[in-house]
Structure 1
Amino acid sequence: MRGLYPVSLFFIFVQCIGAKKMRWCTVSDPEQRKCAELAKALVAVLPPATVAAFARLSCVRASSTLDCINRIKANRADIVNLDAGELYSAVKQFDLVAVAKEIYSDGGCILSVAVVKNSSLDIRSLRGSRSCHSGARWTAGWSLPLGFLLSRNYLSWSKEHPLSQDVSTFFSASCIPGASAMAPPLCTLCRGQKSYIRQKNYHCETSHSEPFYNNQGALRCLRRGAGDVAFVDHLALESIEGSERDEFRLLCTDGTQAPLSHYRNCSLGRGPGGGMVTRHNFRKVVRKFVMIIQMLFGQQGRERQRFQLFNSSTFEENDLLFKDETDKLAVLPDDMDVSQVLGLDYVALLKGLGHEGSSLEDSVVRWCCISHAEQKKCEQWALSIKSDPLVCVRATSMRDCIEKIKRDEVDAVSLDATHSFIAGKCGLVPVVTEYYGKECVPAEGATHLEADVLPSVVGVAVAKRSSRNIFIGNLGGRRSCHSHMYSPSGWLLPYRHTLSLEHNSSSPCDPNQVYSDVFWKGCLPGSQGNLCKVCMGGTGEAATKRCADNHNERYYGNMGALRCLVGDPSGKSYGDVAFLEQYNIHTNILSLSSTGWADGWTLSDFELLCGDGRRAPLTEWESCNLGSIPPNTIMTRPVLTARVYDFLMKSQETLAANPNTEFRLFESLSYGESDLLFKDATQCFVHTSHLDCRSILGEEFYTHLEDVFNCTHSDILEFCNQDVCSIF
């Protein structure tokens, strides 16, 4: 029975595909031999009646992977397995389709590592060194390392010409197979045969006939002393055995070196592994073919003794047809977009590196705005600067901004501390941090402010002075006003205090549950149920449904929470306690009259509710608050940090050089709101792209956020945690 099962499956398969020829594209003589052995093995396991049909599997020898892509597009070959970077190009530029993806023992992704033999090299000072790369536009050999170098501004790219041109001047010499058409200097270290005859020219081609091609070739380039650093994937390190492992080191992102075994903590980034492509009209046949060859010749294949799909050792080369470290192939469904196959972060990185060619997006910065008022301010900003063009893109909330940045629909936004934490979990990185200190004077010799200490703000609970019987501890059954969902002051900090003695027994760690249990109703923009019933929505150009998580909701933010506390102009919709940030409360109280919201309110009409149960004047906020809050951080995708930083610095300089201009980057009251785009308390930006979110937020605050989100459902974190490396 064991032998009949695969035969019967093949019979069904052959019935499905008829006598359709299957043409596998290969890029070297060893790969051609392995492909031919696969064809022979398939013939050997077929019943005689079906041999003729299935034996039409043939191997098409091409000069490079690009040649294979062109042949498949022109219907002169059918399938080829590609690095993820080339797969993306095949799908987006040649209209092919991905049908299967390599899965390794620890998932569907690879890590990019920088390998050296010289103990003095540092990832921060690679300029002028000689580099060996697995392939042009390859994940580990090109996209991830260049994305890292750009994100740290070690490599600068003016965007006035292709990235390859700046790479060729960054390294003193390179071998990047496949780069000959992009920039010839990137091929100076390559050793492949040169010929004016296209089919015989292997110099710098993505073919095993180029000795320094793919991961093993890049390591060969390093071994022979041709290059100083090799950019490869972590799977290639398995081929370095015994005492030779001690000769090599990894370059880590913090400037240190580490042994090869430390690749998980010493890599330049993570990206998807390789996959197979074909034409759209051939994809169903190829999927069935992949399932059959894997069932027979994969790691658990029934005919693995006859042929091993993921082993190239008998052909005196590595990674033929597939990576030798492949554990299995995941067959992809019909409706799977390339961004789902490769991941949103990786696709955004490829776009940022110019894989789709230049476009208008390359010359602009797209800023995320979450309300009508922010859109107006952003458009005034765009008109007031002479730096790179600014485009203002509308979103519905800070959470929506994070998702849009990850999807490459916008580029940057300023986020409060909680949303910065979420953005960090979503793969975004800091560019600059808002600075709330008194002076923004750069150190001598510096062009912009660098600061070791980032001034924070504090969250406070405020009640009307006339509401004498309201204290922290007896807020049960009251009406609450919160600045917005996930706000540090309005959502994160208050629940840590004993808001109501009656509801203290369970002490849940989910703030939403605490507020639902304690308060009768309230306004927590972005929430639902009773915590939306006090909200008002928006009117006119800012019309929105009640409880929207942006300034269109009149009770959103610090200003909104204050409006909620005093009530709407009719005096009907109001709260008993407001949770907001202290720094602009005085200005916002004064603005109640100037904006026509409510007349007659002064600083003395409000009091702070302290954590120990007492009440205090607003002036005593330093001793009567709910906790400190790290500053807002401007976040973006890693590959854009340098561009967004340059844009912000040029903006800041342009506006500072024109003090008479009506536009103020850190002022919002003229638009009828507060804290539009940035906190109004901001004095300038502090460069923080060299720091991670944990460092900016501080260990205590970061750990607190981790604890909260471990027991709080979050749609945006659920979206961010979709991991293409483990979903197959």
Structure 2
Amino acid sequence: MRAMHAILIIFICLHYSLGKKMRWCTVSEQEQKKCAELAKALVAVLPPAAVAAFARLSCVLAYSTTDCINKIRANRADMVTLDAGEVYTAVKQFGLTAIAKEIYSDGGCILAVAVVRNSTLDVRSLQGQRSCHTGARWTAGWSLPLGFLLSRNYLTWAEEQPLSQAVSAFFNASCVPGAAAIAPALCALCQGQKSYIAQRNFHCETAHGEPFYNSQGALRCLKTGAGDVAFVDHTALEGIEESEREDYQLLCTDGTRAPLSHYGSCNLGRGPGQGMVTRPNVRKIARKFLAAAQMAFGRRGRERQRFQLFDSAPFGAADLLFKDVTEKLSILEDNKDISQVLGLDYVALLKGLGHEGSSLEDSVVRWCCISNAEQKKCEQWALSIKSDPLVCVRAISMSDCVEKIKRDEVDAVSLDATHAFIAGKCGLVPVVTEYYGKTCVPAEGGAEKAGHLETAVLPSVVGVAVVKRSTRGVFFGNFGGRRSCHGHMYSPAGWLLPFRHTLSLEHNNTSQCEPNQVYNEVFWKGCLPGSQGNLCKVCMGGTGEAATKRCADNHNERYYGNMGALRCLVGDASGKSYGDVAFVEQHNLESNILSLSPSGWADGWLSWDFELLCGDGRREPLSEWENCNLGAIPPNIIMTRPVLTSRVYDFLMKSQETLASNPDTEFRLFQSQQYGESDLLFKDATQCLIHTSHLDYRTILGDEFYRLAEAVFNCTHSDILEFCNQDVCSIF
């Protein structure tokens, strides 16, 4: 009774606040029938006082989802369910508003899968094949698979051509329902009825009259032999009969194939599921209508025996009005930004694929800088490559760069190994990797593509613990109550590696996995830029145009990074504010020591004045770093959003080629001392940038480092990972 009372109240509200029909837009006779039955069921379950309210549900037949959007805009319909890609278009280009989302058994997202009949095809050999897609600009059938193909450089897309033209050239023939207006060639495989009268034309339309429409239709396209590969969402795989499942396989991103049941690990990416849209002026009543319909006829509805909202079988088709696999509808709060509804990654992907048309941003690369010094170097870089537009965007830390890339406020940045781990977890991908070997060897075919470099081996650097030679009582196991100098928060050498060693015999840190907690317990105070409390008390802040508060997580803090930690160790000009041990990278340690005097920081220091601390308690000269270090550190990785991989890669290769061919230029991409710092934009040890966009970030980092980082972040709070984890798949 309580549930019926709630339904009654909602529908009385509907009746008096709406005062007109609630009109659902359908795209086939089957949907029209299901919608009509929903209207009848609503009347049947209401007491007489609310019958009038329910009788006001009506069904408006359209010839495509695009026609539905136009009808809603023109006040000839009120609501429709759309693929997430169409939701974005409806909101951003046509002023509609999203009011609800479908939630499935495993969350609010779908996985894009590439399905083939058992064959020799793999994801790297799709060029020249026949393709079946769910719909133009749809999540699983268009945006996610094309984003993947672009990120791996399998699909070439020139800036001056429409994406649809690049896709037409890539596949031999296709059926992409909804593509007739933008690229008729993408409709070659479609089978719908053709007519010059729009209402009777179903060829290549996003409507059930096109047999190859949506995920079920794309699978039908594959099953009938019209296409060689179908790009669909994983929920459609349930519709394949058990007796036929062995006839199909999924294409995995690593070039292998897998059974249909392996969609969780063998897919081309994830994105939001379907959503409902309406006009802004009826959004509140539309939400109430959906809530009431779900309360009565949803999975747990009290009136399910009369009508089932998420079942289309009685009407002779699948996924009518809603996907049949929908578990529930999540009614959205008012004034939610579209990026909150669909997810930052997905919205950035759609922008990258040109869903909002071309813009100035499409012709430039926006590089992330975290300090005054980096900004100056970046601007010099931009001036030295005038033909390739580069824009330098400020952030406050490497973590902030990751967030800005995810928000589509910046495009690329070079990240140390720990931040690359974070970025990978946030959905960013590698473009190139810094190479620290002696010589850079062009890849095969490098003559045709100058600057293109590859290697099977990516040399690492090592982290070391450094002390002044004069402080004889400092060694591993005796750090209790000492002062520490760390490069910055999450730095591999300054934050991730040291805590694995016995820092103090008095403090049992072996059972703890949170570095900050270990350092706070062991050291009296220190400088770990980006942290807080005692680990900021030795920091100094910045001065002049780089003025900043103490402990900022960038080069404006004078004790930031490898150079900063060394300054921290020797102290400021007055000999105060110093630490007893510095955790830094070895690659530029000696050059940083030699630069202390010319930079005006501290006079008289030589490499001989410092020693390394070994994990077993020994102290060794700096030259013994190979046998006395904290561990290996994978190289920095330049990362971006998946769809931008090709553009950023081309930009970097042109930069590398331009600068290499002009040795007289004063600008050096991999030198930083002229800006008064070290490792600005890239590590100073970098010899060249190596092509690695075909590799997963985990492969570049290596299993050992990846497992260590994963173990640490499993028990360490991280604002940036928390931000990244609040994606559309987990917030409902």
TM-score normalized with structure 2 length = 0.97
Distance 2:578 2:730 in 1: 48
From 580, 584, 588, the equivalent of 2:584 is 580
Residues 496-505 or 313-322, more deviating: 496-505
Distance 1:397 1:465 in 2: 33
Distance 1:154 1:531 in 2: 47
For the Cα contact (< 8 Å) 1:248–1:260, is it kept in 2? Answer: yes
For the Cα contact (< 8 Å) 1:386–1:654, is it kept in 2? Answer: no
Which residue is equivalent to 1:168?
Answer: 168
Describe the superposition over 1:161-195 as per-residue Cα deviations: whole angstroms up to 9, x where unpaired: 21011001111111100001111100111111111
Distance 1:709 1:251 in 2: 31
From 604, 620, 624, the equivalent of 2:624 is 620
Distance 2:236 2:404 in 1: 35
Distance 2:86 2:389 in 1: 31
Matched, 1:638 2:642: yes
The Cα shift of 1:456 comes to: 0.8
Match of 2:597, SS?
A: helix
For the Cα contact (< 8 Å) 1:99–1:278, is it kept in 2? Answer: yes
For the Cα contact (< 8 Å) 1:14–1:50, is it kept in 2? Answer: no
For the Cα contact (< 8 Å) 2:11–2:54, is it kept in 1? Answer: no
Instruction: Note closer, same or farther for the CA distance 1:464–1:25 as it changes in structure 2 (3 Å cut).
Output: same
For the Cα contact (< 8 Å) 1:387–1:650, is it kept in 2? Answer: no
Residues 718-727 or 374-383, more deviating: 718-727
Which residue is equivalent to 1:190?
Answer: 190
5 Å-filtered alignment, 1:351-430, equals: 351-386=351-386, 388-430=388-430
Match of 2:283, SS?
A: helix
Distance 1:720 1:72 in 2: 34
Which letter maps to 2:204? C
Match of 1:481, SS?
A: strand
For the Cα contact (< 8 Å) 2:278–2:286, is it kept in 1? Answer: yes
Match of 1:43, SS?
A: helix
For the Cα contact (< 8 Å) 2:443–2:455, is it kept in 1? Answer: no
Which letter maps to 2:495? W
Instruction: Note closer, same or farther for the CA distance 1:211–1:520 as it changes in structure 2 (3 Å cut).
Output: same
Describe the superposition over 1:397-441 as per-residue Cα deviations: whole angstroms up to 9, x where unpaired: 000001111111111110111111111111111111100000102
Instruction: Note closer, same or farther for the CA distance 1:395–1:612 as it changes in structure 2 (3 Å cut).
Output: same
The Cα shift of 1:318 comes to: 1.1
From 559, 565, 590, the equivalent of 2:563 is 559
Distance 1:431 1:41 in 2: 55
Instruction: Note closer, same or farther for the CA distance 1:18–1:357 as it changes in structure 2 (3 Å cut).
Output: closer
Describe the superposition over 1:675-699 as per-residue Cα deviations: whole angstroms up to 9, x where unpaired: 0000000000111112112211111
Which letter maps to 1:470? V
User: How many pairs are equivalent?
Assistant: 728
Which residue is equivalent to 1:530?
Answer: 534
For the Cα contact (< 8 Å) 2:11–2:289, is it kept in 1? Answer: no
Instruction: Note closer, same or farther for the CA distance 1:344–1:400 as it changes in structure 2 (3 Å cut).
Output: same
For the Cα contact (< 8 Å) 2:502–2:510, is it kept in 1? Answer: no
Distance 1:120 1:327 in 2: 36
Which residue is equivalent to 1:718?
Answer: 722
Which residue is equivalent to 1:668?
Answer: 672
Distance 1:394 1:7 in 2: 52
Which letter maps to 1:380? Q
5 Å-filtered alignment, 1:677-716, equals: 677-716=681-720
The Cα shift of 1:445 comes to: 3.3
Distance 2:2 2:538 in 1: 69
Q: What is the identity percentage for the equivalent residue pairs of Structure 1 and Structure 2?
A: 79
Which letter maps to 1:495? F
For the Cα contact (< 8 Å) 1:10–1:46, is it kept in 2? Answer: no
Residues 135-144 or 471-480, more deviating: 471-480
Distance 2:318 2:388 in 1: 46
Which letter maps to 2:411? D
* Uncovered stretches (5+) of structure 2, i.e. residues with no partner: none
5 Å-filtered alignment, 1:466-545, equals: 466-504=470-508, 507-545=511-549
Which residue is equivalent to 1:455?
Answer: 459
The Cα shift of 1:242 comes to: 2.6
Which residue is equivalent to 1:159?
Answer: 159
Which letter maps to 1:641? T
Which residue is equivalent to 1:338?
Answer: 338
Which residue is equivalent to 1:296?
Answer: 296
Distance 2:143 2:85 in 1: 8
Which letter maps to 1:203? H
Describe the superposition over 1:291-341 as per-residue Cα deviations: whole angstroms up to 9, x where unpaired: 111111111111111111111111111111111111110100003211111
5 Å-filtered alignment, 1:35-114, equals: 35-114=35-114
TM-score normalized with structure 1 length = 0.98
Distance 1:239 1:329 in 2: 21
Residues 246-255 or 137-146, more deviating: 246-255
Instruction: Note closer, same or farther for the CA distance 1:18–1:343 as it changes in structure 2 (3 Å cut).
Output: closer
Matched, 1:259 2:259: yes
Describe the superposition over 1:467-520 as per-residue Cα deviations: whole angstroms up to 9, x where unpaired: 122212212111111111111111111111111111136642211111111111
Match of 1:53, SS?
A: helix
For the Cα contact (< 8 Å) 1:118–1:228, is it kept in 2? Answer: no
The Cα shift of 1:12 comes to: 3.6
Match of 1:235, SS?
A: helix
The Cα shift of 1:15 comes to: 5.0
Matched, 1:657 2:661: yes
Which residue is equivalent to 2:323?
Answer: 323
For the Cα contact (< 8 Å) 2:112–2:145, is it kept in 1? Answer: yes
Which letter maps to 2:181? A
Which residue is equivalent to 1:209?
Answer: 209
Describe the superposition over 1:601-629 as per-residue Cα deviations: whole angstroms up to 9, x where unpaired: 11111111111112111111111111111
Describe the superposition over 1:14-41 as per-residue Cα deviations: whole angstroms up to 9, x where unpaired: 4553523201111111111111111111
Match of 1:503, SS?
A: coil
Match of 1:349, SS?
A: helix
Which residue is equivalent to 1:247?
Answer: 247
Match of 2:578, SS?
A: coil
The Cα shift of 1:11 comes to: 4.9
Distance 2:305 2:131 in 1: 40
Give the superposed CA RMSD: 1.4
Describe the superposition over 1:77-124 as per-residue Cα deviations: whole angstroms up to 9, x where unpaired: 110000000001111111111101001111111111111125121111
Which letter maps to 1:626? L
